[in-house]
Amino acid sequence: MKKYRPNESKREKRSRHKRKVVALAFYLAAFVTAGIFGCSTKNENPSFTHSASLPSYQQDSYQSYVSETEQWLAENRAYKSDDHQLEVALNSPFEVTPNKPNGEAVLLVHGLGDSPYSFHDIAQHLADQGYLVRAILLPGHGSKVGDLILPSFEDWRGVVDHHTDLLLEDYPSVWLGGYSTGANLVTSRALEDDRVSGLLLFSPAFQPTSTAVKYAGFASLFMQWADQDPEDNMLRYNSLPMNGAAVYYDTVSEVQNKLAAHDFSKPTVMVLSEGDSVVDTAAAVEWFNRQFPNPANRLIWQGESAPSGERVIQQSMRLPKYRVSNGSHMGMLFHPNNPYYGTKGTVAICDNGQSEEGYNACLRGEEMWYSSYGYQEPGKVHARLTFNPYFEEMAAVLDSTMAATKTVDEGSLQHASTR
């Protein structure tokens, strides 16, 4: 994958701003912005333009939705490589059909700046357990970062609602899963729909670490970009339009209002990283304890100082075997064998809040450690942690928690048969 090395003065300036504000916690899909009122640079790169319109998501069938979205991406994407077909495939919504169906389904929703590929490994695991799995594309994603200028909150909520409804037409049991901003969207839906069987939440972005993001909507009236960085990752965006930040904050406002008014009594798995620099994990833990009361629930805490509670599973992230120093916002999503983000993957996120020397060493492919954004340790170069050393253990927790609904249902049927 093509690497980009900015000139030293711009690089140092951007790193200094990022360290000040980890900041705009709305840059939640594992990258951190330059600051809500930071400089926005003019760039004629096609990635920073926007399409004439967003793709439709209201097709009558999921298959039509996938087909038409793929065609739209093929026509509108700003490509990062010569393999256009591969890039479209990696960024398109997808369905994984189980070999031995269990009659249940899962809808998965990615985060801000990301793509459905975020759930490539988790979706395959769930399908292996018998679930029909679908991953959708939030409007404005998968094509070019300039398209994040276009969507509204209604677009993001609308695509989640529409494809949840499509699954509910065909499946008696539907789970919703989301990463970061996607976790906000699926939680909001589940809190108002008793038909949802349970939730799978990865780095839920219920509360950003900074209050600055609440001003993104106002700031968007005066400036178009919160941050512009080289767009060289074919799996996700590196930059952020102010509108994307504003719509993210709309998801925060909605989910917080609904959590204040409702509990979610169905089984839930929540995965949090202690090293997460953009999500307020303490606030997420409070909501988990207060608003998610099911005894089958599990909170996986990747870090050294786990919150107390019988429902908490702690996983140390000091792992020299994997050269991991701590966990990150996106680190729980991918298997260590993932071809792009795994231990031998082709994609390294070197822009990780470290020194210019460390950044360049990472670009040269020198031995690196992995961490959250901004973590530094003498004698080590850190890229972003993009894989989960505990992927198999996490998957087993998903399986056992999701099986809790079957136990309850079977018990209820047996009880009813004896009356």
Structural domains in the chain (count): 1
Token pair listed for 386: 């993009």
Token pair listed for 164: 């949840």
Phi then psi dihedrals of residue 119, to 5 deg: -105, 20
pLDDT of residue 414: 36
Return d(Cα 189, Cα 39) in angstroms, integer: 36
pLDDT of residue 109: 98
Q: Is residue 405 in some structural domain? A: no
pLDDT of residue 18: 44
Is this structure's pTM higher than 0.85?
yes
Give the 3-state DSSP-derived string for 42-107, with helices as H, strands as E and coil as C.
CCCCHHHCCCCCCCCCCCCCHHHHHHHHHHHHHHHCCCCCCCHHHHHHHHCCEEECCCCCCCEEEE
Q: Is residue 397 in some structural domain? A: no
pLDDT of residue 2: 37
Token pair listed for 128: 């292996």
- Give the domain range for residue 14: 8-317
Q: Is residue 158 in some structural domain? A: yes
pLDDT of residue 379: 87
Return d(Cα 357, Cα 378) in angstroms, integer: 13
How crowded is residue 414: how many other Cβ atoms within 10 Å of its Cβ? Answer: 9
Cα-Cα end-to-end distance for the chain? 65
Q: Is residue 134 in some structural domain? A: yes
| Residue 90 belongs to domain with CATH number | 3.40.50.1820
- Given a cut of 50, the residues of the chain with pLDDT beneath it are 1-13, 15-42, 407-419
Q: Is residue 171 in some structural domain? A: yes
H/E stretch holding 302: strand 298-302
User: For residue 155, with 0-12 CB atoms within 10 Å meaning exposed, 13-18 middle and 19 or more buried, which class applies?
Assistant: middle
Mean pLDDT of the chain: 88
